[in-house]
Amino acid sequence: MLIKSLVQKKDYLTTVSENVTLAEALKVLEDSGFRCIPILDDTGKIFRGNIYKMHIYRHKSQGGDMNIPVTYLLKNATKTIQVNSPFFQVFFNIKDLPYIAVLDDESGFYGILTHARLLDMLSEAWNVKVGSYVLTTLSGDGQGDLSKMAKIISKYTSIAGCLTLDAKRDEFVRRTLFTLPAGVSRELLDTVVTKLEKKGFIVSEIEDLQSGQAIRSDDQPYA
């Protein structure tokens, strides 16, 4: 359901049919301002791949025939996910793509999930607009470490957001980012950091969300 809520549905997208020529596809791309759009079959239901403006320009500059089907320069035909796919699968597929095609339960074209929308969603995990500080804490791979850190912080303030990184099988150090809510004072921040470190957790970085400045970083002492 998370993927579905982020998708731009096909009814609101600029697409081209597999039957159009490269010249016609280029005009659609130039008129829309997009660098890449989906190619659908003649029924408008099946995703065939993507067509990129730069590939058409390159083809044209080399004297290529512009009246051949757009599918001649089709790309990313297999770069798709299902609308009910686990969220982590997006990261294994989208990578350097501007978007990834999303298919419905019957493998029909449902829409696209853009790279920008994905990044927006991830940035919301930091709760930048309602947060004060982000603490990057280092812990081992011990059972219950996340609960222990959260319990320490919760004694003094609520937690506006939490994101865990480096959760790999062979990783022995894990980074957890805690966003503290707006209104947390520097004095309270110091207390939270001190309590965490007394329990053996390292606070490696602290970012002041309102100023955009790092209070502490790997190469900068706590000021």
Distances (CA, A) of 92 to 27, 89, 100, 201: 32, 5, 11, 31
Helix (H) or strand (E) holding 164: strand 161-165
In total, the chain counts a number of residues equal to 223
pLDDT score of 218 more than 70: no
Mean pLDDT calculated for residue range 43-61: 97
- Tell me what pLDDT residue 131 has: 85
Residue 222, pLDDT score: 47
Mean of pLDDT values over 108-112: 97
The CA distances from residue 97 to 31, 40, 50, in Å, are 21, 18, 10
| Axis-axis angle for helices 22-32, 53-61 (nearest 10) | 130
CA atoms within 13 A on the CB side of 11: 0
pLDDT for 167 equals 54
More confident position, 221 or 62: 62
Q: What pLDDT was estimated at residue 52?
A: 98
Of residues 204 and 3, which shows the higher confidence score?
204
- pLDDT at residue number 223: 47
> pLDDT tens across 63-79, in order?
999 999 999 999 999 99
Q: Which fold has domain 2-120?
A: CBS-domain (3.10.580)
Distance CA 223, CA 207 (A): 12
Q: How confident is the model at residue 170 (pLDDT cuts 50, 70, 90)?
A: low
Cα–Cα distance, 107 to 67 (Å, whole number): 30
Q: What percent of the chain has pLDDT above 90?
A: 67
Cβ pair 176, 149 in contact under 8 A:
yes
Residue 117's pLDDT band (cuts 50, 70, 90) = confident
CA separation for the pair 82, 89 (Å, rounded): 10
Closest CA to 166 of 151, 176, 153, 156: 176
Chain-wide mean pLDDT for the chain? 89
What count of other Cβ atoms lies within 10 Å of the Cβ of residue 24?
A: 16
> What are the structure tokens assigned to 114, written together?
């853009």
User: Who's near 130: CB < 8 A, 6+ residues apart?
Assistant: 160, 181, 182
- C-alpha–C-alpha distance, residues 39 and 13, integer Å: 11
Domain residue extents for the chain: 2-120, 125-216
Rounded to two decimals, what is the model's pTM? 0.69
The top-level CATH class assigned to 125-216 is alpha beta
pLDDT of 123 higher than 80:
no
Q: What angle do CA 25, 76, 104 make, to 5 degrees?
A: 95
Q: Do domains 2-120 and 125-216 have the same CATH topology?
A: no
Q: Regarding predicted confidence, which is higher, 169 or 152?
A: 152
Question: Which tops the pLDDT comparison, 80 or 165?
Answer: 80
